[in-house]
Amino acid sequence: MDIINHDILIVGGGGAGLRAAIAISQMSPSLKTAVISKVYPMRSHTVAAEGGSAAVLNDDDTHDLHAYDTIKGSDYLADQDAVEVFVRDATNEVRQIERWGCPWNREEDGTIAARWFGGMSRKRTLHAADKTGFHLLHALFQTSLKFDTLKRYDEWHVCALLVDNGKVGGVLALNTRTGVFSILSAKAVILCTGGVGRMYAFTSNAGIKTADGAALTYRAGGPIKDMEFIQFHPSGLMRTGILITEASRGEGGYLFNKDGKRFLENYAPSKMELAPRDIVSRSIIEEILAGRGFKGTYGSYIHLDLRHLGEAKIMEKLPMVRELCLDFAGMDPVYDPIPIRPTMHYTMGGIHCDKDGKTPMPGLFSAGEAACVSIHGANRLGSNSLTELLVFGARAGRTAVEYVSTAKPVSADKLQSLAKDRMDFIQKRYMKAGNGKEKIGAILSELRKTMDEKVGIYRTEEPLKEAIQIIQKLKERFNKITLTQQSRVFNTELTAAMELDNMLEIAHVIAMCAQVRKESRGGHARKDYPTRNDEQFLHHSLTYQGKDGPRRETFPVTITKWQPEERKY
Ligand SMILES: Cc1cc2nc3c(=O)[nH]c(=O)nc-3n(C[C@H](O)[C@H](O)[C@H](O)COP(=O)(O)OP(=O)(O)OC[C@H]3O[C@@H](n4cnc5c(N)ncnc54)[C@H](O)[C@@H]3O)c2cc1C
């Protein structure tokens, strides 16, 4: 098999991956660095981010306040040393990205504008209207083009990490255009592969978010962390799950039940619509369960009302919200309230790494939504993720540069033999023709239904156990799949099979960790254990692939100066 040699390989062309690539290219232009992405970089999910990116810029704000909001938002599961680094680096990063071309909205006096976001005690969410992700990713992408030495593999799909005795030496990847597999060797691999959203049916996530990074790490023997913590965003557009940004509420939008009441006054009276997402999402579900939702063809919903903001403000600050409503719901938020319900949105957990992006496996680093540093703990505050991509993308890049200055590569012979084993596995598992009866579409639908119904916003023991059993059965059914498409060129059925395999593996971990964590904390809400239990559960979950399924260990939370307290808004 072909071997293409590199020093550092970044898997993922979204915000985290490109920020890492720029950091490496600036620090050490002579290194052979490459970005590999299963879609053209500008199609990464980062492009879909809407509301903004949080950082302290104004005089009435401090890094400690941003840190406190983030830690309280995380329900005290965030590692506080990492949060302190995050809020400090954030200020420089948002200024830097502007110099690279991100057009932050401005106030009348020319200073950078900030808007309110959930759980934040100051206006600190910088934005470019409600297309922040598009502008941010564009600024990173065009900056990355300046570096001649930075190589790209667009539309290449990473299928496995090549690991020799625990040390990462590269990846096995499929060029989807030609159907040819190659070894991409590297002394350091940085996984920036994004989240896991597509294992849920009702989600705001792009089709490419299929848990690849978590599964690659897990199969290679590395730990993944806090996977039970899944964020549901309060405002998914009915029928589609498409995100209506929290900026709608940041700019002054209201949530109403069918009795015309702003019901948040019963759940978070001091923050109202701007309470953190876990709390607002649960409040919406409570209203619906109490029969105070509106009834529609696709289930019950509540109203997000922007009408009082007026057309001019909507067009200036929330043009994409209007566009999405017109295109996907056939209604105009200037004149009518938007029908919404919570949608699966974000993965707080991910590849276990520290604040420098380092995982316990030599040669393996991670950043962005795929990683779990952890700064979000049990619940992420809106607009902290885009900033996280910048801060921890850059840090992981720099750490990798330091690492490769002394690291030895894995030998070519060893890589060939590792890749051969992996190729045999891929051929047997995915590419065999004709003998199985199972279809990937049917298995995927059942997985999504199970995750929505049994591993959703509210969780209880029995449904979680059922979910684990169903996922185990789905894994068995997966052994009998047949691909109908045998072409080498753009065989999207093959890549979909690999993605489904990844999601099944990680769904199993999520359901298992959710069942073991018998408390409620942040986005993990157990009906049968409704309170937080610091005595037994103030720890991270670390999960490894065991012989008969996931094996869970615990890992301590770092607390610096903010002692856990009751979380009230
Ligand atoms: C609709 C929406 C709106 C959002 N709005 C905001 C917001 O306003 N503010 C905020 O802070 N956060 C927001 N978020 C969250 C935030 O946008 C994401 O968490 C973040 O963009 C993830 O960036 P990333 O670089 O980690 O991954 P992504 O941007 O998801 O990129 C992942 C990359 O990995 C590549 N990849 C994955 N698997 C493979 C593989 N097997 N082989 C090769 N390549 C692979 C993909 O091709 C892609 O390039 C939003 C999220 C959504 C879904």
pLDDT tens readout for residues 439-460: 999 999 999 999 999 999 999 9
Whether 326 is covered by a domain: the verdict is yes
**Residue 435: pLDDT over 90:** no
Determine the Cα–Cα distance for residues 32 and 9; give it in Å rounded to an integer: 8
Strands of the sheet containing 188-191, edge to edge, are 150-154, 33-37, 8-11, 188-191, 364-366
Q: From ligand 1's centre to the CA of 366, what distance in Å?
A: 13
For ligand 1, pick from 157, 191, 193, 387 the residue to mutate: most ligand atoms within 8 Å of CB: 193
- Which atom of ligand 1 lies closest to the CA of 15? 25
Q: What spacing in Å lies between the alpha carbon of 37 and ligand 1's midpoint? A: 12
The predicted model gives 387-393 an average pLDDT of 98
Are 314 and 438 in the same domain?
Answer: no
Q: Per-residue pLDDT for 379 more than 70?
A: yes
CA-nearest of 557, 455, 556, 447 to 512 is: 455
**One domain, residues 456 and 546:** yes
Residue 33 has a pLDDT of: 98
Which of 342, 359, 391 marks a domain boundary? 342
Mutation test residue for ligand 1: of 9, 35, 44, 198, the one with most atoms within 8 Å of CB: 44
| 3-state secondary structure at position 169 | strand
End-of-domain residue from the set 342, 365, 384 = 342
Q: Residue 191 Cα, ligand 1 centroid: separation in angstroms?
A: 12
In a domain, 69, yes or no: no
Whether 542 maps to a domain, the answer reads yes
430 & 336 share domain: no
Q: Which domain holds residue 516?
A: 420-556
Atom of ligand 1 nearest to the CA of 369: 26
| Domain end marker among 286, 307, 342 | 342
Assess whether the C-beta atom of 235 lies below 6 angstroms from ligand 1: no
Closest Cα to atom 11, ligand 1: which residue?
A: 383
Q: Whose C-alpha lies nearest to ligand 1, atom 52? A: 49
pLDDT value, residue 484: 87
Same domain? For 338 and 425 the reply is no
CA of 368 to the centre of ligand 1 (A): 8
- Total structural domains in the chain? 2
Closest CA to ligand 1's atom 9? 383
Mean pLDDT of 401-424: 97
174: enclosing H helix or E strand = strand 167-175
16 lines ligand 1 (CB under 6 A): yes
Is 369 near ligand 1, meaning CB less than 6 Å away? Answer: yes
* Helices of type H across 100-184: 132-144
200 Cα: distance to centroid of ligand 1 (angstroms): 16
Determine which residue's CA is closest to atom 21 belonging to ligand 1: 46
**Is the minimum distance from the CB of 347 to ligand 1 under 6 angstroms?**
no
Residue 260 is assigned to a structural domain of this protein? yes
348 in any annotated domain:
no
Q: Residue 432: what pLDDT?
A: 73
| Mean per-residue pLDDT of the chain | 97
- CA–CA gap between residue 477 and residue 530 (Å, rounded): 35
| CA-to-CA dists, residue 124 to 243, 345, 383, 456, angstroms | 21, 21, 9, 30
- Answer for the pair 138, 101: CB distance below 8 angstroms, yes or no: yes
| 293-304 pLDDT per residue, tens | 999 999 999 999
Q: Measuring from atom 10 of ligand 1, which residue has the nearest CA?
A: 383
- Residue 187 CB partners (closer than 8 Å, separation 6+): 7, 8, 169, 363, 403, 404, 407, 408, 409
Give the pLDDT mean for 172-190.
98
Residues known to be catalytic:
233, 249
Same domain, 334 and 434: no
What share of the chain in percent tops pLDDT 70? 99
Question: Is position 292 within any domain?
Answer: yes
Q: CATH number, domain at 286?
A: 3.90.700.10
Cα within 13 Å of Cα(284), Cβ side: 27
Question: CATH number for the domain including 515?
Answer: 1.20.58.100
pLDDT band at 236 (very low <50, low <70, confident <90, very high): very high
Coil, strand or helix at 261: coil
Same domain, 552 and 428: yes
If you measure from the C-alpha of residue 393 to the centroid of ligand 1, how many angstroms do you get, rounded to a whole number? Answer: 12
Q: What is the pLDDT of residues 510-537, one digit of tens each?
A: 999 999 999 999 999 999 999 999 999 9
CA–CA separation, 215 vs 206, rounded Å? 18
Q: Is the pLDDT of residue 434 over 70?
A: no
Does any domain span residue 259? yes
Residue 238 lies in a domain: yes
Burial class (CB in 10 A: 0-12, 13-18, 19+), 566: exposed
Instruction: Determine the pLDDT at residue 433.
Output: 59
Distance 196 CA to ligand 1 centre (A): 10
427 and 529 both lie in a single domain: yes
80-124: pLDDT as tens digits = 999 999 999 999 999 999 999 999 999 999 999 999 999 999 999
Residues 328 and 444 grouped into a single domain: no
Is ligand 1 within 6 A of the CB of residue 38?
yes
**What distances in angstroms separate CA 247 from CA 114, 118, 281, one per listed residue?**
11, 9, 15
Rg (CA), the chain: 23
Which of 130, 386, 505, when mutated, tests ligand 1's pocket best, judged by the most ligand atoms within 8 Å of its CB? 386
User: What average pLDDT does this structure show over 460-478?
Assistant: 97
Q: Same structural domain for residues 299 and 424?
A: no
Question: Average pLDDT in the 473-488 region?
Answer: 92
